[in-house]
Structure 1
Amino acid sequence: MILDLAFIWAGLIAFAVLAYVILDGFDLGVGILFPFLRSTADKDLAMNTVAPVWDGNETWLVLGGGGLFAVFPLAYAVVMPALYVPIIVMLLALVFRGVAFEFRWRTQRGKFLWDISFAFGSIMAAFAQGIALGALVQGIAVEGRAYAGGNWDWLTPFSILTGVALVAGYALMGASWLVMKTDGPLRAAARRMAVWTGAVTIALVGLVSLITPFLNPLYLDRWFGFPNVLFSVFVPAAILAAMLVFIKGLRDNRDAWPFLATVALFVLSFIGLGISFYPYMVPPSLTIWDVAAPDESLWFLLAGALVLVPMILAYTGYAYWVFRGKVDPAGGYH
């Protein structure tokens, strides 16, 4: 049997991106919610919930970006010029956020500045990721295997909408994470924030989902042609079920349920994107096989991935297992 290496690698890259969105999404969400936390003690506790895992979560961003460069070099060469600005903004925002994470513990007089930096970096990183996603969904102009668009093609009403939607979605994930990981006043505040961020997220996801099929005839045919039309019914129904679990978890004080339901919402949305995109790596013109590196390179890199990916999964799982449960405000992790 001949393995379709390009397809396998597309699955690995998609998995890395999804892992990053889920794992880094909640700690970006905590930063997004930082301005809404009233006391310094609540901010310290919120940051301590993600302190043991936040930098490890970004491993998946490196794996996804590095994998795209190595395995799908043509896609990298086309996508990066189209998205230079949002990608650079995202990386700078992550730098601000990472520095603030460490420095705010070392000062009292300037702590508020690092709080602002942490929140600003989180919001801008999430917004830039959403902008990049929206620009990719609406399509990238390609001519002669090179980017053929302008410097500002990425900035459209749709990409701004997806940017705002991702900020809201990460905020929802952050709020549900705090519900799961804390007790007392912070948990109560997080429950309130989970309600309004959940409502905003569902409204924006619904709006993006309604607009997306009409951006490109390919998407319209993909979602409403048979048999994919069955997914057009299944995905919204599954999202509704996830939101019912979310609401029941908040109502019945099952603190893990809202977070798991939010993760399900992101996974379902990601599946929807996959249905729209496949088999294109750069919609609407370049497929997975058009942009893949030679098979010799794919084999060589796959051998490394078969070693590294299980290792990353193992230490990530171990870290979450060690720091499971509610965070003790008196103990902390900093």
Structure 2
Amino acid sequence: MDVTVIWAAIIALGVFTYVVLDGFHLGIGIVFPFFRDEHDRDRMTNTVAPVWNGNKAWLVPGGAALFAVLPVLYSPLLSTLYLPLAFMLACLILRGVSIRNRAKADRTKPLWDRAFTGGSAGAAFFQGIALGAFVQGISVDTGTHASIATGWLTPFNLFAGFGVVATYALLGSCWLFARTDANLQRRLHRLIWPLTMVLLGFVVLVSVWTPLAHASIATRWFDARLFLRLTPVPLLVLVCGYWMHRAIRARHRSTPFFAALGLVALGYLGILVSVWPYATAHSVTLRHTAVPHSSEMFALSGALVMLPVVMSYTTLGCRALRGKVRHGGTGRYL
């Protein structure tokens, strides 16, 4: 049993879960400027008010797992991406403060609305920058000393930042479409397809840019053994896009959100294929960054107990609060 692979799968699952759960909440803040009515904005925030604080907690297991199991990866990753991650955390704090204060504010409510938008868009943007830097590669000179391979403020990283913003905006719009009704839902209906086209445009450009900029990724993508296995991925992206189009035309309530999740999952799969089995700089494998086997097993015993608990209360919370928000914006659900 390769425990390092199991831990890589756990970390990958935790990151994807965070993207899904906190991504649609950040997306709500990103699309906030498209809706000026105060009651509409109250309903938008009330769809996630009971769960947003727990959603972002999925960041903690990912960071803890990197520190405990992959310390050689944790050190250069956190050192190189110190500034974008610090900016991301500052934006998440601003997002949290704004969503609490806007519910009680009167004259300063517009200010907190702008803070909610800025914090949400900023957190998404810096997450994208960190993602782009990780895909480009972070070099490790020794077991403790890290250096920047290309620098985190590059055109590719900035492009990845805007791509994550577009992704979260689509997730947020689809979530709201399933949780609202009347005029607000009709306006969201007109917003989903343009955001889908924007996301598909980012997918195409990244798919072309990545292999052209990184020879190691191009070699891996077009390897004869892997190429045939990856062939269905672009086709599945087209299927998800068509699925989204059909769902929007038929005005299905929840289907657009699942179609958006399909697009996100396929993009995430592409990233994993691009970097696997390397941890940094496309030269250091995950096994070279891991702690001894006994330490991995000890940490895994705790993870196997806690992960089902966390996943269970997350599922039960979302299930208990399913349904549409009432017109009054009280936060109660039908």
> TM class, shorter-chain normalised?
over 0.9
Deviation at 1:137, TM superposition (A): 0.8
1:252-308 deviation digits (Å, cap 9, x = unpaired)? 011111100000111111111111111012231221101111222211111111111
Match of 2:148 in 1: 149
Q: C-alpha separation between the residues in 1 aligned to 2:243 and 2:253? A: 11
Residues 113-128 of structure 1: matches in 2 within 5 Å? 113-128=111-126
Q: C-alpha separation between the residues in 1 aligned to 2:29 and 2:68? A: 32
Q: Which amino acid aligns with 1:87?
A: L
Match of 1:241 in 2: 239
> TM-score under structure 2 normalisation?
0.96
Q: Which runs of 4+ in 1 moved over 4 A?
A: none
| SS state at 1:137 partner | helix
Give percent identity, aligned residues only: 41
> TM-score under structure 1 normalisation?
0.96
User: 8 Å contact 1:20–1:60 — kept in the other structure?
Assistant: yes
User: 8 Å contact 2:140–2:281 — kept in the other structure?
Assistant: no
Residues 265-276 of structure 1: matches in 2 within 5 Å? 265-276=263-274
Residues 152-231 of structure 1: matches in 2 within 5 Å? 153-231=151-229
Deviation at 1:147, TM superposition (A): 1.1
Deviation at 1:325, TM superposition (A): 1.7
Q: C-alpha separation between the residues in 2 aligned to 1:53 and 1:245? A: 28
Q: Which amino acid aligns with 2:205?
A: L
1:202-241 deviation digits (Å, cap 9, x = unpaired)? 1011101111112322211111111211244211110111
User: 8 Å contact 1:32–1:123 — kept in the other structure?
Assistant: yes
| SS state at 1:109 partner | coil
- Unaligned runs of 5+ residues in structure 2 are none
Residues 1-334 of structure 1: matches in 2 within 5 Å? 3-145=1-143, 146-149=145-148, 153-330=151-328, 332-333=330-331
User: 8 Å contact 2:43–2:331 — kept in the other structure?
Assistant: no
Q: How many residues were matched structurally?
A: 331
Q: Which amino acid aligns with 2:289?
A: V
Q: C-alpha separation between the residues in 1 aligned to 2:329 and 2:42? A: 11
Q: C-alpha separation between the residues in 2 aligned to 1:332 and 1:233? A: 48
Q: C-alpha separation between the residues in 1 aligned to 2:184 and 2:265? A: 27
Q: C-alpha separation between the residues in 2 aligned to 1:20 and 1:176? A: 17
Q: C-alpha separation between the residues in 2 aligned to 1:95 and 1:331? A: 24
Q: C-alpha separation between the residues in 2 aligned to 1:317 and 1:219? A: 36
User: 8 Å contact 1:223–1:231 — kept in the other structure?
Assistant: no
1:85-115 deviation digits (Å, cap 9, x = unpaired)? 1100000000000011111111111011111
1:5-59 deviation digits (Å, cap 9, x = unpaired)? 1111000000000100111110000010111112001100000111121111112
User: 8 Å contact 1:224–1:232 — kept in the other structure?
Assistant: no
Which moved further from structure 2: 264-273 or 214-223?
214-223
User: 8 Å contact 2:189–2:248 — kept in the other structure?
Assistant: yes
Cα RMSD after superposing both structures:
1.3
| SS state at 1:281 partner | strand
Q: C-alpha separation between the residues in 2 aligned to 1:111 and 1:331? A: 15
User: 8 Å contact 2:177–2:253 — kept in the other structure?
Assistant: yes
- Unaligned runs of 5+ residues in structure 1 are none
Q: C-alpha separation between the residues in 2 aligned to 1:249 and 1:116? A: 32
Q: C-alpha separation between the residues in 2 aligned to 1:144 and 1:319? A: 44
Q: Which amino acid aligns with 2:304?
A: L
Q: C-alpha separation between the residues in 2 aligned to 1:283 and 1:163? A: 20
Deviation at 1:331, TM superposition (A): 5.7
Q: Which amino acid aligns with 2:12?
A: A
Q: Which amino acid aligns with 1:268?
A: L
User: 8 Å contact 1:73–1:291 — kept in the other structure?
Assistant: yes
